Amino acid sequence: ILNVEQSPQSLHVQEGDSTNFTCSFPSSNFYALHWYRWETAKSPEALFVMTLNGDEKKKGRISATLNTKEGYSYLYIKGSQPEDSATYLCAHHNTNAGKSTFGDGTTLTVKP
């Protein structure tokens, strides 16, 4: 993996469904991985900052895991609600640390 890739590109689920998406990034020169939530007409909002292999972070119904050796992170949403509808972005920081590379995001739509 040379770039930051997110999958799927979009996801439509029913209210109450649990869902997960993937962020793949270069495993070499890893420094940090950020997850953001981006609602339409707003600016990205930080969810998690993950730095250590095996990190697991949780905020309410949203959680994330990190595998730096294989270069991926999963974001999970348990019991999706319509207000979870947004684009979820991940951003990779390399050991230069100053440079951040964003994936194109996964757009989640939760239907009532």
Partner 1 sequence: DSGVTQTPKHLITATGQRVTLRCSPRSGDLSVYWYQQSLDQGLQFLIHYYNGEERAKGNILERFSAQQFPDLHSELNLSSLELGDSALYFCASSANIGITEAFFGQGTRLTVV
The closest alpha carbon to 50, from 67, 77, 69, 32, belongs to 32
Alpha-carbon distances of 50 from 26, 35, 112, rounded to whole Å? 15, 8, 31
Cβ 24 to partner 1, closest distance in Å? Answer: 15
Question: What's the CA gap between 27 and 29, in Å, rounded?
Answer: 7
Site residue total, partner 1 (CB under 8 A): 23
The residue from 44, 64, 72, 107 that contacts partner 1 (CB under 8 A) is: 44
Choosing from 11, 37, 84, 93, the residue that interacts with partner 1 (CB under 8 A) is 93
Q: Which of residues 49-68 bind partner 1 (CB under 8 A)?
A: 49, 51
**Among the candidate windows 7-15, 66-74, 78-86, 103-111, which touches partner 1 by CB under 8 A?**
103-111
CA gap 42, 60 in Å, rounded: 21
Task: Tell whether residue 40 is a contact of partner 1 (CB under 8 A).
Answer: no
| CA–CA distance, 11 with 19 (Å, rounded to integer) | 9
> Among residues 1, 29, 39, 46, which is the contact residue for partner 1, using CB under 8 A?
46
Length of the chain in terms of residues written: 112
Q: Which is nearer to partner 1, 65 or 101 (CB)?
A: 101
